[in-house]
Structure 1
């Protein structure tokens, strides 16, 4: 940071010679490779934890997101308020907010604390899964697979979309599979008539110990 005119160090500052012969300066050719530039960008880009909130996540049809199969997969199911409470903590998600060094949106990680373990949603290699462990306090070039940008949807104040940080063309979505199963997936693009990438985020879930 440059010293101000009133700072004691300013009295000892060397006056810049604006008549310097520019032809006497050696110009260094910086031949960066693509991976070097990516590394520099990665070092610059960092995330640090802010507050978190507990939330119930639903698709546009009102089906509730719940963790199944030992915490490895999430599906949407029709549940009453009593059933949501009875299936806690598998229906109560932790949305962890991050401060970004170069803000591009509202960066979040989505975790769930089951009876025995904590799992955090990851989209590594464009494959969506919950990996064991809580979201990190700080994220630089590593673990960016857990980051999503939570985006508001114009005209829908109660609905959100979650865009992958690593793969900006991909969004969290609800997909109906065989036997009437509605699964949480990573989908390319966010435009569809069914609203599969739209989520209802209910923060008032009655949980206070996230």
Structure 2
């Protein structure tokens, strides 16, 4: 795949995500589809990168697929899969690797060095924020929610003292800030 994502690449991303998550993790697949629907709503915010955003949204949790879960850290496992098996667009791989402030969770897991070395942070804050908004305003079953409710749901599901619970509580100020930036742009758009 080249550096520009087009409609055929979005279709490719949808097929890959469904193949990896659809049967083995149907709830995760429902979430990924909901995140992609949220990304479609942000097409005007992403501009020429709308296809990239939707592809990253539908693929962001692909690393949970049982056959891909090598490290148990889904952003890293998913990014490696997309890079190594599919030779995917570098920006797509980096968005998946760092979605929703994954670097903070990598630190909790002792994987920060690996993540940073293999997948440098994407500098396009607009795209990073948009993917955070899509992920953090979508429930595990793919329905819209608020970022506050989503963070509370994650803490409740994993437990406050778990790796994920500690990470999400640390990341929540950044998550809420990113979501706020996107909502400010959305509020300024004509209806």
The alignment's TM-score, normalised by the length of structure 2, stands at 0.27
Higher relative helix content: 2
The alignment's TM-score, normalised by the length of structure 1, stands at 0.26
